[in-house]
Chains A and B, each alone.
Chain A
């Protein structure tokens, strides 16, 4: 599903040049659950942003479902992204001014789903993450675990083929963390490809394979299963 080779990303500020990704190459097959690990600042988030087409690489190739997307313009990337990829962040990134329902509904609005349809799908997914009873609450009225469940619901409401999760349990206690990991595992079992950045060895064990990074390069790949 994803094949990157020799991917490079360099951040230039006035004084320094940071090589965030240094000729990085690997492949992820459809239906896989991959964990990405490595010390802080090694380029994990940068990698995820590029895989999520939020950012473009400076060099190298990025095949998504066999299509070269490294040089796609903003519009094409956005189009590909909104139909195929869901995101889960460490800090949830829910919109404070919108209710739980409205937050989850957003991706459907942007892909042009009809209102009646949206309602059904949002309710179905809220049911699945067991947050239906809180549908009219605002994010700040929820606990961290609940907020992350809403975020997961929002990531999957469009039935994306790929979910990118950047330290999804980073802000959660272990029981809430396990709950979220279980949800991701369930999704994976239903066929969704998942790439997850994590610091936790515990969480990484939910995955099929671990990619370890250092200074923008892969060091090892452990196959678990």
Chain B
């Protein structure tokens, strides 16, 4: 029996090839999008959940404001973790991670290579994070100084295999040269972790002034005892601050209480970020990895559900639309004595079969597209994850549900007709449920318009970022990394480079307006620094040619100069700092850097003020920065002429190799590094445009199907109208008008929605575009044109047909 139904169903699908194809492709595309986005969202939600104690691990975050703007750090002081563990029995364990500049030079064979996935951690690291060791004992591995734990892949890369690695020595450039012994090998850290290290070095080798409560430089994690809530534990932070931070602060500042500190508009506040929330919710500067964004997870989930809905709606829409054409078939069958029950089964088996074919196609598509999707989304997901418990039920139930829903209208409605009426053609063309169909078309186009407008706005914001006047010139700037590797030959290297044709200028500094070295300190315009006059300012060490090479504009005073022997005590401020200080002419005035104990502040003469430049992401306001003359050798940067770039690069590498043959030569371009800061936004833009296009495509498939159906239904009417004098234009207008009305309504719903969503998104950026009305205009016109184009195919075809043929069909 079932077989017979399926056979008839298949035959019917085959007979209506166009309809079946539109139906199957539409649903399959929608399902495929849904699968891909679902995998993406599941992956985002899975971060850091694989540790045994995930739900009890918290990172301490700190919100600090000291003069100027508040900064949210993922850091604590070096003392905080151990102090909390000592004072509060609720803390089962703590551990710290330190990765000062995020990379090290390691010797492999005779060559040094740059490793970026490196960190120092306490020996308790593996007590908190249950990363299984496959050789050695992780829990004791980092107890001694000069020890390192590496991952399986790293062990293979450096030592051939895992067992070989234990006891081997790895040489790094720490303090010139430091040796570490491999004491354990762990499994690779899963990619859905907010940190991903290949090397975890002993904390005991970090060169640091230990014992501080005021300087915040460590990622500290607490493992709380079972049953302890973060809200409850957080209450202890005030006591901690009073007891430990305040006494230390008194050494630098003239303050008596934390209240006084706060009343001066300052802030020092700690909070606990759940481990599993770091990836999606934290998003502070200096996170261990860029992290995701819960907003995007919501947006993408919504998009996935909308696309799936659109596809399902289309499916139902087309199935129902087509059913009117089958009214006659139903009539004949009923006259021939088919029972209503059988008719219902026939219709339902047809629609469910179609839905299942789509589903299988969707899975195949997902497998095919996965590599592309991975490259767009920056993930490394496997399509095999489709078969996880979260998705499988959807894939099995969905075709059933959609098939049932889509099939039930024709099944129950048509099968209830009295055959005589149907055969007499009294059933007027299924317009009876036209309003439902209209609502569906409106819904689809509203979704498409929101997606189009959203995509345009994302692109415009990214374009704005890329073309915004940043206060420095990011073009044609070559950054050669690890300048310190050349040691005392660095200056010679710079001079050699300057001799090259096309090299305009060069500068040596670790501090650049991209993610690179940062250090801040407490400064003040007064010699006696207190909570009111003190502020925290970036302290950048640069050389004489820094301003010129980066194209930063000096608006007052002068640059550092070799003609002045005293410039080692000089500072150039940015506008933001000058404004905080409040001098009408800051040049010649002094600022003071806090030191240990009263009267120990160091004095600097302000020699110039530079125009504000964006040294952090445009998501943040421009903070205070002071440039100091000195030596910091992270990067050697050169401004070049574009035409000479390839030759200059080749020369730089050759020269580098003669000065330091065993050191890796690596470089980047400032504009590319700048773009990297916005990589997650760029990914979102790409994903957004991909899915907008798909959503529109699916909507168009549906519209095309409907238009085909409408034109077919109205062939005779069109014939009559043409006989009565309707022109092709009249007919096309008539057929398009209805749809266009729907698209217009969709626009009215979509525009405010899109505005609201994108307005929220833009709040992330301190520097952002205005949402102008014409963006919605474009989105609307685009959706309208696409709809018109889709419909006009069928409309024109119907309009130019000879009316005689339409009227002959009696």
Contacts and interface: CB of A to CB of B under 8 A. Distances in A.
Interface of A: 45, 49, 52, 54-55, 75, 78, 81-82, 87, 89, 91, 93-97, 106-107, 110-111, 140, 154
A107 B727 CA distance: 11
A97 B722 CA distance: 16
Given A89-B807, A97-B428, A111 B725 contact: yes
A89 B719 CA distance: 13
Contacts of B426: 140
A172 to B, nearest CB: 16
B231 interface: no
A49 B717 contact: no
B396 interface: no
A111 B721 CA distance: 12
B519 interface: no
Query: Which 3 pairs, one residue from A and one from B, show the smallest C-beta to C-beta distance?
Result: A82-B725, A110-B725, A107-B724
B725 A75 contact: no
Determine which residue in B426, B719, B723 has the highest number of CB atoms from chain A within 10 A of its CB, and name it: B723
Given A82-B725, A106-B724, A91 B717 contact: no
Contact of B727 (A52, A78, A93): A78
A110 B725 CA distance: 6
Contacts, number: 51
Determine which residue in B426, B725, B802 has the highest number of CB atoms from chain A within 10 A of its CB, and name it: B725
A91 B727 contact: no
B724 A110 contact: yes
Interface string B721-758: 11111110010000000000000000000000000000
A96 B724 contact: no
Contact of A107 (B725, B807, B808): B725
Contacts of A94: 720
A78 B725 contact: yes
Contacts of B431: 97
B724 A154 contact: yes
A55 B723 CA distance: 11
A139 to B, nearest CB: 11
Determine which residue in A55, A95, A111, A140 has the highest number of CB atoms from chain B within 10 A of its CB, and name it: A95
Contacts of A110: 721, 724-727, 730
Given A78-B727, A96-B428, 7 more contacts: A55-B802, A81-B725, A93-B720, A94-B720, A106-B724, A110-B727, A140-B426
A93 B807 contact: yes
Contacts of B810: 91
A49 B721 CA distance: 15
Nearest to B719: A93
B500 to A, nearest CB: 72
A54 B727 contact: no
29 contacts: A49-B804, A52-B723, A54-B723, A54-B803, A55-B802, A75-B727, A78-B722, A82-B725, A87-B723, A87-B724, A89-B807, A93-B719, A93-B720, A93-B723, A93-B807, A95-B720, A96-B717, A97-B428, A106-B721, A106-B726, A107-B724, A107-B725, A110-B724, A110-B725, A110-B726, A110-B727, A111-B725, A140-B426, A140-B428
Interface of B: 426, 428-429, 431, 716-717, 719-727, 730, 802-804, 807-808, 810
B717 A54 contact: no
B673 to A, nearest CB: 63
A16 to B, nearest CB: 17
Contacts of B719: 93
Determine which residue in B724, B726, B730 has the highest number of CB atoms from chain A within 10 A of its CB, and name it: B724
A21 B580 CA distance: 98
A97 B432 CA distance: 11
Contacts of B723: 52, 54, 81, 87, 93
B463 to A, nearest CB: 47
Contacts of B724: 82, 87, 106-107, 110, 154
Contacts of A55: 802, 804
Contacts of B722: 78
Contacts of B726: 106, 110
B802 A54 contact: yes
A66 to B, nearest CB: 22
A87 B724 CA distance: 8
Given A81-B725, A107-B724, A110-B730, A95 B717 contact: yes
A97 B710 CA distance: 13
A140 B424 CA distance: 11
A81 B725 CA distance: 7
A199 to B, nearest CB: 15
B723 to A, nearest CB: 6
Determine which residue in A52, A78, A81 has the highest number of CB atoms from chain B within 10 A of its CB, and name it: A78
A5 to B, nearest CB: 22
A54 B802 CA distance: 8
A107 B725 CA distance: 6
Contacts of B802: 54-55
A95 B721 contact: yes
A52 B722 CA distance: 12
Contacts of A95: 717, 720-721
A53 to B, nearest CB: 10
Nearest to B802: A55
A39 B366 CA distance: 63
A93 B808 CA distance: 11
Nearest to A45: B808
Contacts of A81: 723, 725
Contacts of A107: 724-725
Contacts of A154: 724
A107 B721 CA distance: 8
A140 B810 CA distance: 17
Nearest to B800: A74
Nearest to B721: A106
A78 B725 CA distance: 6
B29 to A, nearest CB: 34
B522 to A, nearest CB: 80
Contacts of A49: 804
Nearest to B426: A140
B802 to A, nearest CB: 7
A91 B807 CA distance: 9
B730 to A, nearest CB: 7
